[in-house]
A and B are shown apart, each in its own frame.
Chain A
Amino acid sequence: MKKIKIKDIEEYIYYEKLNSGLEVFLYTKDDTYNNYVTFTTKYGSIYNEFVPIDEENMVRVPKGIAHFLEHKVFAQKEDPQPMEFFAKSGSICNAYTTFNNTTYLFYATEKLEENINYLLDYVQNIYLTEESVEAEKKIITEEIHMYDDRPTEVLIETVRRNALNDNPYRDSIIATVSDIESISKEDLELCYNTFYHPSNMFLVVTGNFDPEKIIQVIRENQEKKKFDEKKEIVTKKFKENDAVCKKREEIIMETNVPKVSYTLKIPLKDIKLSRRKLHLYAHILFTTLFDETSPFDQKLKDDGIISSTTYIDLLNCNTHLLISMINETPRYEEFLEEVRKRLERLEITDDDFQRKKRVLISNEIFAYESVETINDIIIDNIIFEGKIEDNPIEIIENLTIDEMRELIKKIDIKNVSIVVLKSK
């Protein structure tokens, strides 16, 4: 087991890669009661075209399978079902699907070893029948309907659909009712066999335990199992035009306060920054332009154009970065015009820049207070950077305003997609 030191924070993360290819990360905090364990496959909603594990050619499957699998992995042939098993020790289990990964998790104060063994076992074993797949379609349909009734969700879904053309980030993670209807048991099996191979997965345990003991439990569990041979998974590379797909759309939906998004689409091909630095710079720049500390926010609130601070959403879609300014206000036309005007002068002062750096550094320290946040940070690091970043504070300290200015030059402020959501 390797020990990785997170510099300036004086925290350590243990790491080991098992023979099966499964990567394990352990973080211990000896005064907590709770343990948080996540088991993640690097497989989310964007991987719908790929070469299956035992085949040669690229196939295309219906959208929504990653999330569908998340539901079905929970069903075991024999009782107890995962929910029951974890509940026996008072543990809570859950799972979630993103664009890039599917994560199975539990919280436990008791029986950590048994629970880890069980988590590995149930996720690495799927049981599907035609009937159970059909029954799950009804549940997922209700889940889709739940999101359909949430105006903000609808707005954010539309933002991606209108900003992007062919990029799979365009589609919602859960997909549509008709996508779900078209999914078969065989589709689910194909994706499961390809993407749930241990070499495409990693386990993160954060909490109060003996790391040597826990890694031994995990090793033994994996050594007992037979897996297909490791194989690099080939997924389709997609092209994406720089121009937004739709410049403006108005959605009519029941809501008391109109919601609006102003989205910039920035191509990543000419930007030489690491993903992390790009996000830090974009975060500093756009919070400085629009958050409570900005003249923009003060003026629009004084004029009554907005009453809440503008929310900034950053989404890296691999080919492009989408930056959305989101707010809700009956005076949305004025808001849009003000955002447009503000973007004409993309610049910030050194004072603002230094202050925002201080905020970012403080928040790195704040994060190391709960085992959940630390676990989430590790997952993010592995999914987006492939490794643990052991010097996050120094990276922030070394950001420069000159480098940010270089980035600003790459932003085409005319490449905009606007979505308005309001009632009749």
Chain B
Amino acid sequence: MNLETINMGAYNLHLIKTNKFKTITIDVDFYREIKKEEITKRNLLKMILLDSSKKYKTEKELIIESEMLYDIKISSSISRIGNFSNLSFQTKFLNEKYTEEDMNKESIIFFLDLIFNPNIENDSFVNIEKQKSKLKQMIFSIKDNKVKYSVLKLMEKMKGKPYSYNTFGDIDDLEKITGKTLYEYYKRVLNEDQIDIFVLGDFDSTKVKEIFKEYFKINTFKKENKKLLVPELIPRKRVVRYREYDEVSQSQLIILCSLNNLTDYERKYVIKLYNEILGGTSNSLLFDTVREKNSYCYYINASVKAYDNILIINSGIEGKNIDKCIKLIKKTLSDISSGRLADDVLESAKMTIVSAIKSSFDNPIGVINTYFSKILVNSDDEKERIEKFSKITKKDIISVSKKVKMHTILTLENKEDENEKN
């Protein structure tokens, strides 16, 4: 795989040449520091731009054209990395080797046209109501997924932190958005967001560069902003517990842990390995303790958000086992801190991570994400990462484990159990 980065003035164009895939993938990332009041607009923008355009006035026309282009895939997403909100547009289409000559160019132009030539009249997006009601429904539907809903409820308690915001946005903010205000925001995204573009596949670099020069026209200059890291939580002497109630047959247990004083090395390496050992896969300590040895649950996971300085543990269990589960989890955390950790568990977890780094190169988005994280957080290249993960010692894990502290617990329990307690 061969990477070439071209400075196009207002953005960087990264060309990743490989003949490993039958497709060409393009990822356009717009990112900036997250502000709560902008999240809803970014979400709506993500939907509106792929719904219609100046050329294809309706979703129907647009999708028919995408099918004619050998079913070119287009998608958009919003994600958050620390303080940054990333609005990403992606496309994947069959390399013209498998379709017709000039289809590469035609496909790229189709995709870029959606971003740059939206359906605008009088400086206002036309007909945003359909996408507004779809977004409204998405915000409401979070409740159907009890894990996500419970995590959201817990995160809401962490006021002011970017992870406390609902990723889809906010109903009140949504109501206020008009075609005009959305268009103003769209202009700001184009002019103020940092932009990186990745093109991956087997193509002629000169031709691709020319296409972008002509069709991806942005000329403003942006200051680089790298304040990615979210401020730490202040560790608590006593863990705070919240209880939510709903009609559920299974209770949700969500535990938020604070991470304090991580070094850069720990953030990039040790805490990830620690998380893998704790609750990364079905070979983890939590899985073994809570599910295999005690049959309390079907799933239990830990996930680390290193740039948020937090770690989350979640499980679905029977209401009456909640307290026993919390005890077991506490014990597992303190076992690691006091060094009760078998060497082969440590080595297996390293192998799992190394394997994941290698396999990320088997899919286009995996490759692109790897390169993007180099830009965002200055991560090492894959060889170095594999080497550094392999060298982590038990001592490293023990010392990072002392920086992980249970902070807040939230449980979602059955309404009937609430009534019994009263």
Decide if A318 is an interface residue (CB 8 Å cutoff): no
- What 1/0 mask marks residues of chain A from 144 to 155 whose CB sits below 8 Å from any chain B CB? 011011111000
- Kindly specify which of B154-162, B204-212, B256-264, B355-363 makes contact with the partner chain: B355-363
Chain B CB within 10 A, most for which of A136, A148, A257, A356? A257
Q: Which residues in window 83-141 of B have CB below 8 A to A?
A: 92, 94, 98-99, 129-130, 133-134, 136-137, 140-141
A33-B361, A152-B144, A256-B143 in contact; A298/B60 too (CB < 8 A)? Answer: yes
Contact B21 A369 (CB under 8 A): yes
B191 to chain A, nearest CB (A): 31
How many angstroms between the C-alpha atoms of A142 and B291 in the bound complex?
Answer: 10
A87-B351, A307-B130 in contact; A362/B295 too (CB < 8 A)? Answer: no
Q: Which residues of A contact B344 (CB under 8 A)?
A: 84, 88
Decide if A231 is an interface residue (CB 8 Å cutoff): no
Contact A301 B358 (CB under 8 A): no
- What 1/0 mask marks residues of chain A from 248 to 275 whose CB sits below 8 Å from any chain B CB? 0000011111000000000000000000
How many angstroms between the C-alpha atoms of A83 and B316 in the bound complex?
Answer: 21
Contact B60 A293 (CB under 8 A): yes
- What 1/0 mask marks residues of chain A from 117 to 149 whose CB sits below 8 Å from any chain B CB? 000000000000000000110111011011011
Decide if A190 is an interface residue (CB 8 Å cutoff): no
A110-B355, A308-B134 in contact; A32/B362 too (CB < 8 A)? Answer: yes
Contact A149 B146 (CB under 8 A): yes
Report the interface size for chain B: residues with CB under 8 A from the other chain.
63
A33-B362, A308-B137 in contact; A146/B60 too (CB < 8 A)? Answer: no
Decide if A92 is an interface residue (CB 8 Å cutoff): yes
A143-B298, A301-B130 in contact; A328/B249 too (CB < 8 A)? Answer: no
Contact B352 A358 (CB under 8 A): no
Decide if B375 is an interface residue (CB 8 Å cutoff): no
Decide if A109 is an interface residue (CB 8 Å cutoff): yes
A335 to chain B, nearest CB (A): 13
A139-B291, A304-B133 in contact; A145/B316 too (CB < 8 A)? Answer: yes
Decide if B418 is an interface residue (CB 8 Å cutoff): no
Give the A-B pair count, Cβ closer than 8 A: 169
Q: Which residues of B contact A31 (CB under 8 A)?
A: 20
Q: Which residues of A contact B133 (CB under 8 A)?
A: 304, 307
Give the residue name and chain of the A residue nearest to B349 (CB): A87
Decide if A302 is an interface residue (CB 8 Å cutoff): yes
Q: Which of B67, B70, B141 contacts A328 (CB 8 A)?
A: B141
A88-B348, A366-B94 in contact; A298/B362 too (CB < 8 A)? Answer: no
Contact B351 A146 (CB under 8 A): no
Decide if A363 is an interface residue (CB 8 Å cutoff): yes
Q: Which of B59, B355, B359, B363 contacts A298 (CB 8 A)?
A: B59
Q: Which residues in window 48-99 of A have CB below 8 A to B?
A: 83-84, 86-94
Contact B295 A92 (CB under 8 A): no
How many angstroms between the C-alpha atoms of A327 and B135 in the bound complex?
Answer: 15
Contact B362 A34 (CB under 8 A): yes
Q: Which of B143, B250, B355 contacts A90 (CB 8 A)?
A: B355
Chain B interface SS verdict (over half)? helix
Q: Which residues of A contact B363 (CB under 8 A)?
A: 369-370
How many angstroms between the C-alpha atoms of A257 and B135 in the bound complex?
Answer: 12
Q: Which residues of B contact A365 (CB under 8 A)?
A: 22, 94, 98
Q: Which residues of B contact A298 (CB under 8 A)?
A: 58-60
How many angstroms between the C-alpha atoms of A356 and B21 in the bound complex?
Answer: 24
Contact B299 A150 (CB under 8 A): no
Give the residue name and chain of the B residue nearest to A153 (CB): B144
How many angstroms between the C-alpha atoms of A86 and B349 in the bound complex?
Answer: 11
- What 1/0 mask marks residues of chain B from 14 to 28 whose CB sits below 8 Å from any chain A CB? 000000111100000
Decide if A24 is an interface residue (CB 8 Å cutoff): no
Decide if A410 is an interface residue (CB 8 Å cutoff): no
Give the residue name and chain of the A residue nearest to B248 (CB): A149
Q: Which residues in window 29-80 of B have CB below 8 A to A?
A: 58-60, 63-64, 67-68, 70-71
B4 to chain A, nearest CB (A): 20
Give the residue name and chain of the B residue nearest to A93 (CB): B282
Q: Which residues of B contact A94 (CB under 8 A)?
A: 282
Contact A328 B71 (CB under 8 A): no
Decide if B177 is an interface residue (CB 8 Å cutoff): no
Decide if B353 is an interface residue (CB 8 Å cutoff): yes
Question: B-contacting residues of A (Cβ < 8 Å)?
Answer: 31-34, 83-84, 86-94, 107-110, 135-136, 138-140, 142-143, 145-146, 148-152, 253-257, 291-295, 297-298, 301-302, 304, 307-308, 328-329, 355-356, 358-359, 362-363, 365-366, 368-371
Question: A-contacting residues of B (Cβ < 8 Å)?
Answer: 20-23, 58-60, 63-64, 67-68, 70-71, 92, 94, 98-99, 129-130, 133-134, 136-137, 140-141, 143-146, 246-250, 281-283, 287, 291, 295-299, 316-318, 344, 347-356, 358-359, 361-363
Known interface pairs A146-B298, A293-B60; 7 further A-B residue pairs with C-beta atoms within 8 A, sorted by A's residue number: A87-B351, A152-B144, A255-B144, A256-B143, A297-B59, A304-B130, A356-B67
